[in-house]
Structure 1
């Protein structure tokens, strides 16, 4: 079941690949960002696939701004069937002041809560919805993951999945970055001849997009409340 997908969050290059994959799967897109320019690449990629795509400037930490954007999408593009929310869970310095906590921890979690809450009404009305949060925890030089944000996103996703299940809405979290995979069978069983060394395989943006596309599709009806780890190629993805 294709329909309308809302893409929100950090202006991360992999988001454009995900936008293209969702467009190829038949979704029309509404891309939310701090400015139309920040959304241009994702919108252009979707339109090249022949889908409708719009960009909306949103103040992600303000409830009224977020709700107005979702209402506009619902009225002018159609009810959102999918929400993809990208969260930058990186931190460049220690948390030592209240302002640091509010910005590095409270900010991403508040924005995730606001956009998820805003899409729930139309999804419940339609009896169908997919909420996919992507936590970008790439190990860029000089930066480290904010584990508090990641843990908060995991807890929020599982709670949302439990509460939304009765309405046909699923919620899942994709953790994308370097060295963030859960232990795999390849790390326990002997590797097959010619296979890469454990921990050495890096997936491309296209594979991350394929993971999101699966979670956004009909095949993932019973997949909810899950945390899926995807290793990407490098810190510039």
Structure 2
């Protein structure tokens, strides 16, 4: 397993109390980073801290990324506890309901867009300010293959993740001259608790589209993220990295 040197670096991982985010937290701790986990579930945060505290410095903050005031407070709490943040992995997200677009509930659409896209904007906006001041930063926004391909019966999720891709490209261009790398990843589905939000029919559909014939493992995602947020990634920005098991057509 490749290991990157994150000694002296402070990282924030949103949605880091479980699933993809938790695996990323472990990879960052292995490299010596101090990691703040932002999550809206206090019980999951407590469990994550108990699991990880022996691995290194872990700070947890109950955060609602859809609320700018909550994000600003989380940023202040993290900086006070650990120091200036130079790494962000934005992994928080929800799947939403599975239904044809003509039947998709308006409230569900609003919530998915609010968490996945507005939340990503809020976190990037707040934490990038400090990275600009430092003249250094590494950001990975977790999008999805659905943002490239568009999954049927998942219009809100697909649209929100397409928005994350475009937002990432915009920010990457804006900060390219400031030693800040901002990239997105587009994983296929990983078997995490997000599956609880999906119908079995939709899960079967996603699997059928992956040439590898299996779902991606969270540690495989964390492996790529580790390089993207390392100092070694000194050139690539505004890019989208495929983790779809061969599904992506572009």
Question: Taking structure 2 as the reference length, what is the TM-score of the superposition?
Answer: 0.75
| 1:144-183 Cα shifts (integer Å, max 9, x gaps) | 472211210110000010111122211111112249xxxx
SS for the counterpart of 1:54 is: strand
| 1:49-86 Cα shifts (integer Å, max 9, x gaps) | 2x211111112111111011111211220111111111
Distance across 2 between alignment mates of 1:41 and 1:212: 23
Distance across 2 between alignment mates of 1:111 and 1:160: 15
Structure 1 position 74 matched with structure 2 position 82? no
Residue in structure 1 matching 2:69, options 60, 64, 68: 64
CA RMSD, Structure 1 to Structure 2 (Å)? 2.7
Higher strand residue share: 1
Deviation (angstroms), 1:199: 3.2
Q: Equivalent residue for 1:211?
A: 224
Q: Equivalent residue for 2:166?
A: 155
Higher helix residue share: 2
Distance across 2 between alignment mates of 1:98 and 1:143: 14
| 1:17-60 Cα shifts (integer Å, max 9, x gaps) | 111111001111100111332223443454222x2111111121
Distance across 1 between alignment mates of 2:185 and 2:100: 25
Runs (5+) with no aligned partner, structure 1: 180-196, 233-237
Question: Taking structure 1 as the reference length, what is the TM-score of the superposition?
Answer: 0.78
Deviation (angstroms), 1:11: 5.1
Q: Equivalent residue for 1:39?
A: 45
Q: Equivalent residue for 2:241?
A: 228
Q: Is the 8 A contact 2:16 2:38 kept in 1?
A: no
Q: Structure 1's 23 and 40: CA in aligned 2 closer, same or farther, altered over 3 A?
A: same
Distance across 2 between alignment mates of 1:69 and 1:46: 20
Q: Is the 8 A contact 1:30 1:55 kept in 2?
A: yes
